[in-house]
Amino acid sequence: MTRPATPRKPRAASQARIGSILTAARELLVSEGMDNLSIYSVAERAQIPPSSVYHFFASVPALLEALTADVHAAFRATLLAPVEHDSLSDWHDLSRLLEWRMLDIYNNDAAARQLILAQHGLAEVNQADRQHDIELGRLMQAVFNRHFHLPELPTDVDVFALAMELGDRVYARSMQLHGQITPRMAEESRRVFDAYVGLYLPPCMIKRQQSLEM
């Protein structure tokens, strides 16, 4: 009797190889810039044959998409991190807290700034970033709903995702003008986020007596 085939889990060696490739790509992205990134330079930095890189990533955009996913995983973790419910007076406090958490990622991760805030014009990376933003926006809405009674929001617009994208454009402008996200522009980004979200949220949104489970 023939047994049905069972899906194979990725081997630990393959996961380790992927990790070393992405680490090398991240280091080169920071030190050399996106224009100088290639499969061959990544292979040289990772000290593996180029064919090994091609085995997992068919192109540089595929590598960059994987790095973008890593960055958004960090953003996702900040949204899933606990928030002390009693510390929130209104929804602006929650907005400020989440903004600070995400700003920390940008400030401490040069690759994140290169991938999401730089004007590189790579359609594949931009598309991946937009898709991740939709997921993050819905997760952020869930965080707000955990602590406050949200009003009914439109279903044809991802309000929180769009607000995050608008805030990122301010960060990108700061990078273009100053080479960093300045405190002044970080505050402007939060103002932009709050102003747009505030079109749909009341100024004094009712806080829940206790936070909901995520």
**Per-residue model confidence as pLDDT tens digits over 169-208:** 999 999 999 999 999 999 999 999 999 999 999 999 999 9
Instruction: Note the pLDDT of residue 131.
Output: 84
Burial class of residue 27, CB neighbours in 10 A (0-12, 13-18, 19+):
middle
Question: 2 pLDDT band (50/70/90 cuts)?
Answer: very low
Residue 121: predicted pLDDT: 66
Q: Write down the pTM of the prediction.
A: 0.84
Which domains are seen in the chain, by residue range? Answer: 11-58 (1.10.10.60), 61-214 (1.10.357)
C-alpha dist (Å) from residue 93 to 35, 97, 98: 40, 6, 9
Q: What percent of the chain has pLDDT over 90?
A: 71
Confidence band for 50, pLDDT divided at 50, 70 and 90: very high
Name the H helices within 81-158.
91-108, 110-112, 123-147
